[in-house]
Amino acid sequence: MKLTIIGTGGMVPTKKTNPSAFLLEAGGKRILLDCGYGAMRRMAELGIDLQSIDAVCVTHFHGDHAGEAFGLINVRLVDDQHRTFARNGSLQRLRHKHLVMIGPKTLERRFEAWRKIFWLEPNEQYPVAWREGIGTSKIGPISITTFPVAHVPYFDSVGFIITHQGKRLVYTGDIGSSHPFADLVDKLKGVDLLMIEGSWVKHRSPNHFSMAQVEELAQAANVKTVLVVHTNPENRKTVKRYLCGKKQFLFAELGMKVTV
């Protein structure tokens, strides 16, 4: 599995950070893990064709994780229209690539609400398979299992356990200190790559993990490699200093590639 960092910051974008978005490639498939605002522009800059995405996995509904997830569907439809018309001079042979959207409960209902504001053409439809809540999905040879994550009380959040050819990657999305520690240890035992937020160094928050908690978790679960993501801009230098010399840890940077 190959992972490309498209966005790894928090809610506030900067020149060096962008809200959460990660491209996972394996078995001829491309899966987008979160799609925060700015993700489509970043993918274009990295030469990633938006039409090549097979599935989008949304951890939760904050804008820095899901801000462009629904817009991607609309953009792909319009891009198909442009490409078809350029080839044929009409839209009679218009075809769309199937897209799978995976995330918490209410994902499809929120898309329909979004569509009433931003995509008003009633006759335009795009083929999407909606997979909500806790369960396992197959995208080609890749297995994606969702699990509940404690973040904020206003909506459900999920994490993803992704398996391919015996390798396991876990992405928690935003996760709070209220999440049962033993549950995480059980899910993460021996995982090859853990993608988890490092918003702070030692500060404990009900909605976000600290680096001290991440380190304790990684040791307890015998995680092979930890990729620290979703670091607030004002804490980046502090977190990087904290990780200095810790060989088990990687600090995510824009455009970075990680092989699992």
pLDDT in tens, 86-144: 887 777 777 899 999 999 999 999 999 999 999 999 989 999 999 999 999 999 999 99
For the chain, list residues with pLDDT below 70. none
pLDDT in tens, 10-27: 888 888 889 999 999 999
What are the residues whose beta carbons fall under 8 Å from the beta carbon of 153, sequence distance 6 or more? none
Token reading at 73: 């569907």
Expressed as residue numbers, the domain containing 190 is 2-259
Q: How many domains does the chain have?
A: 1
**Spatial separation of the C-alpha atoms in residues 22 and 71, rounded to whole Å:** 17
Please provide the distance, in angstroms rounded to a whole number, between the alpha carbons at the two ends of the chain. 5
- The CATH number covering residue 8 comes to 3.60.15.10
